[in-house]
Amino acid sequence: MSKTSLPAPDHATRLREALLAAAFTADGLLDLLGAPAYAALARSETVPALRATRGDAPLDTLVRLFLLQRPVPAGRAAAVLPLPECVAGGWLTESDGEVRASVDVRPYSGPDGQDWFIVSDLGCAVGGAGGIGSHEEGVVLGIGGASTTLAGITVRRPVASALDIGTGSGIQALHASQHATRVTATDLNPRALGFTRLTLALSGAAPADLREGSLYEPVAGETYDLIVSNPPFVISPGARLTYRDGGMAGDDLCRTLVQQTGDRLNEGGYAHFLANWQHTQDEEWQDRLRSWVPHGCDAWVVQREVQDVTQYAELWLRDSGDHRTEPAEYAARYDAWLDEFEASGTKGVGFGWITLRKSAAAAAGAPSIVIEEWPHAVEQPLGPAIETHFARQDYLRDQDDAALLAGHFTLAAEVMQEQVGLPGAEDPEHVVLRQNRGMRRATKVDAVGAGFAGVCDGSLPAGRILDAIAQLMNEDPVLLRDRTPQAIRLLVEEGFLEPVPPAG
SS3 of 415-446: EEEEEECCCCCCCCCEEEEEECCCCCCEEEEC
The DSSP secondary-structure symbol of 502 reads: P
**Confidence (pLDDT) at 133:** 44
CA distance 80 to 60: 10
- Residue ranges of the alpha helices (H) in 140-230? 145-153, 171-176, 190-202
3-state class (DSSP) for residue 186: strand
Going residue by residue through the chain, which has 504 residues, state the pLDDT in tens, using 9 for 90 and above.
445 689 999 899 999 999 999 999 999 999 999 999 988 888 878 999 999 999 999 999 999 999 999 999 999 999 999 999 999 999 999 999 999 999 999 999 999 999 999 999 997 754 433 344 445 668 899 988 899 999 999 999 999 999 999 999 999 999 999 999 999 999 999 999 999 999 999 999 999 999 999 999 999 999 999 999 999 999 998 777 777 887 788 999 999 999 999 999 999 999 999 999 999 999 999 999 999 999 999 999 999 999 999 999 999 998 888 888 899 999 999 999 999 999 999 999 999 999 999 999 999 999 999 999 999 999 999 999 999 999 999 999 999 999 999 999 999 999 999 988 888 777 778 899 999 999 999 999 999 999 999 999 999 999 999 999 999 999 999 999 999 999 999 999 999 999 999 876
CA distance 208 to 185: 7
| pTM recorded for the entire structure | 0.94
DSSP letters along 279-322, please?
Answer: EETTB-HHHHHHTTSPTTEEEEEEEEEEEEHHHHHHHHHHHTTG
**Confidence (pLDDT) at 45:** 87
CA distance 188 to 402: 53
On whether the CB atoms of residues 99 and 88 are closer than 8 A, the answer is: no
CA distance 23 to 479: 66
